[in-house]
Structure 1
């Protein structure tokens, strides 16, 4: 396993981050525990969850599954860089969502209880809160850091301007501010190249891409459909119809090199500036096996250029729109 620093911090994290969103609603608790154990065996030390994850099992259920796994001991907590998030409403009552100082305090304590730990390595804002001033947010985070309940703060789904706002407010308080940003980023969705990645590079914020295979569309979807391994209906079928020519070219590109399309898509992310660790969310052990293979894929300049031809991005950002 390869490791890198999380943004500008001294914290070492694996180049793949284990996403847990499927634990509970899609993957049983015993299988979730096996996947987490296997992740450690492979050297993956970076796990991501959120307080709202749980699907039909209820909000908080995924954190509870992770917590029960951590509680089994064997150095599991010590070996894990644990990340979770807050923002979404946990119930309809006022102040049980977003980023007020009150909710940061309550949500953090609730996550610590569910995760059965006394600290969280990376506490992330799941969305920008336009109604709460940054001084309030940072004051609450500084208290939590002083109490030893969290070590670092990160964001998710922020625009470049939001990163700049957050860091300006943190700097005025002589606080480190954000060290990571989770954004949707993959070959098909490259909007963050316009503003978010340039801001992240400037501020030393590590990018944690979510949906690296764009809901499976970059995982060999056409080949699987031909082989009878996947049925594409609804929005998936519509997305394939809209991007079929690009997906065909991409799958041909991978086949010519004897590679799995999903491995190429993940490897491409690992070659992008500011990217720390793509978040892979396996439902099964086989999907974790597949994700790990991407670490051994090297893409030269010609290959990267070809992928840019298939899926054009914003390589002159942040001024791309102006030319």
Structure 2
């Protein structure tokens, strides 16, 4: 496994990030533990989760699975760089009340204590803001984070789904307080969705944040979806189905699969390998539902794409171009 430094921190993290979103909704506790064991044995040391994962009536279940895995000891927690998130309400829809969500100091304080309990640990390496909060000022957010850092309950703060200007606002506010600020940004970024190249990734690079792309296969669109349909396998759903309904997108995906067939490459592994070539990217998040899916993701780290393939991929899925020229579109 390859390792890199996370932004401007001293943390050494794996070039793949284990996403745990499927633990609970699609993968039971025993299988989740098996995947985490396999990931750690392969050298993946960066695990990502969120307090709301488990979803619906089962919010928090994913963190609980990770906590029960840590409780088996064997150095599991010590070998893991643990990231979780705060923002969404943890209550049932009928039981919401003011201050039970978003990034108020009160919710941050309550949320971190609840996550620590579910995760069965006394600290979180990277505590991430799951979305921007348009109402809470960053002065309040950083005051709450500063308290948690001083208490030893978190080490760093990160963001998720932030636009470039919010990354700048957050870190400028932190700098005025003498704080490190955000150290990572999780953003939607893949071959089929490259708008992060316009502002988010340049802002992250300017402020020294590690970039952690989520949905590297764009909901399965880049995982050989047309081939699977043709072979009678799982049909596209969700984001992938919506995208394939557009003839232009379907044509690009077909060209993508044809290109990889020509070069003897697997679509999912290629999409991950492409992200690993992108400037500023620390490592994409992979969310395996089975050990076999994890094994496929691991092969991507060793895959070297030729210049011919990289050029062809840019032709099929052109990016927006360099900023600020991209804004002339």
- TM-score interval, smaller chain: over 0.9
1:290 is matched with which residue? 296
Shift of 1:234: 6.7
1:213: Cα distance to partner?
Answer: 0.1
* C-alpha distance in 1 between matches for 2:98 and 2:143: 21
Residue 203 of structure 1 aligns with which residue? Answer: 207
* Partner SS state of residue 170, structure 1: helix
In structure 1, the residue corresponding to 2:196 is in which secondary structure? helix
Equivalent-residue separation in structure 2 for 1:235 and 1:36 (angstroms): 27
Q: Does 1:140 align with 2:144?
A: yes
Give the count of matched residue pairs.
Answer: 323
Distance 1:12 1:227 in 2: 41
| Matches of 2:238 and 2:27, distance apart in 1 | 23
User: Contact 2:218 / 2:240 at 8 angstroms: preserved in 1?
Assistant: no
Q: Select between 223-232 and 46-55 the one with higher mean Cα deviation.
A: 223-232
Stretch deviating more after TM superposition (111-120 or 223-232) = 223-232
Alignment RMSD (CA, Å): 1.2
Asked if the contact 1:86–1:98 (Cα under 8 Å) also holds between the matched residues in 2, the reply is yes
| Residues 77-226 of structure 1 aligned to structure 2 (within 5 Å) | 77-91=77-91, 92-226=96-230
Matched, 1:40 2:40: yes
Match of 1:255 among 261, 265, 271: 261
Q: Within 2, Cα distance between the matches of 1:86 and 1:55?
A: 14
User: 1:306 Cα deviation (Å)?
Assistant: 1.2
Residues 233, 294 of structure 1: CA spacing in aligned structure 2 closer, same or farther, 3 A cutoff?
closer
Quick check: 224-233 or 175-184, which moved more? 224-233
CA deviations 1:220-244 (Å, max 9, x no partner) are: 0111111112223576434213111
Query: What residue in structure 2 maps to residue 54 of structure 1?
Result: 54
Return 5+ residue gaps in structure 1 as ranges. Answer: none
Match of residue 280 from structure 1: 286
CA distance in 2, matches of 1:193, 1:60: 32
* Alpha-carbon contact 2:131-2:162 (below 8 Å) kept: yes
Q: Which moves more between the two structures, 233-242 or 97-106?
A: 233-242
**Displacement of 1:56 after TM fit?**
4.8
Task: Name the TM-score, length of structure 2 as normaliser.
Answer: 0.96
**TM-score, normalised to structure 1's length?**
0.97
3-state SS in 1 of match to 2:82: strand
Task: Assess if the C-alpha contact under 8 Å between 1:213 and 1:265 holds in 2.
Answer: yes
Structure 2 unaligned blocks of 5 or more: none
Deviations along 1:55-112, one digit per CA (max 9) or x if unpaired, are 2551111100110101110000000000000001112122111111111111001000
Is the partner of 1:50 in helix, strand or coil? coil
> Given the superposition, is the C-alpha separation of residues 260 and 151 from structure 1 closer, same or farther in structure 2, using an over 3 Å criterion?
same
Partner of 2:236: 232
Q: Structure 2 vs 1, CA of residues 196 and 227 (structure 1 numbering), >3 Å: closer, same or farther?
A: same
Mapped partners of 1:166, 1:136: distance in 2: 11
Give, in angstroms, the shift of residue 304 of structure 1. Answer: 1.7
Conserved 8 A contact 1:25-1:56: no
Distance in 1 (CA, whole Å) between partners of 2:168 and 2:182 is 10
2:48/2:82 contact within 8 Å kept = yes
1:307 maps onto 2:313 in alignment: yes
The farther-off stretch of 232-241 and 24-33 is: 232-241
